Amino acid sequence: MKADKGDGYGIKVSSNAQTHDVGAGVEFRWDQKQKDEGVLVVSEKFFMAYFDLRIVVKSSNEYRQLTITAPGSYDVTKWTDNTGKEHNINIIWLQLHDVSIC
């Protein structure tokens, strides 16, 4: 889903961090290039305290938002827009949403 700059909040994971263990059962690992793709691992432990995890992915001035609602391993990849331009990932933000605010 398309997002904008205002959606860029939460736990910031920049591309110069090889691995970021957020705690609460969430970890983000950049690929070897540390600039274009990574893997998000979300354990069942996470969903005992939170109802979802939103990820905002930034590439230059483009933003995309993903919502994770189940445990698993998720590839966070670069994307190509409708003009054919490829977008490498610069930064991601992890937004943890507590079950108490449902």
How far is Cα 96 from Cα 22, in angstroms, rounded to an integer? 10
CB of 7 within 8 A of CB of 91?
Answer: no
55-98, pLDDT tens digit by residue? 888 887 788 888 888 999 998 888 888 888 888 888 888 888 77
Tell me what pLDDT residue 100 has: 59
Number of domains into which the chain is organized: 1
CB of 41 within 8 A of CB of 53?
Answer: no
Domain range for residue 65?
2-101
Tell me what pLDDT residue 102 has: 47
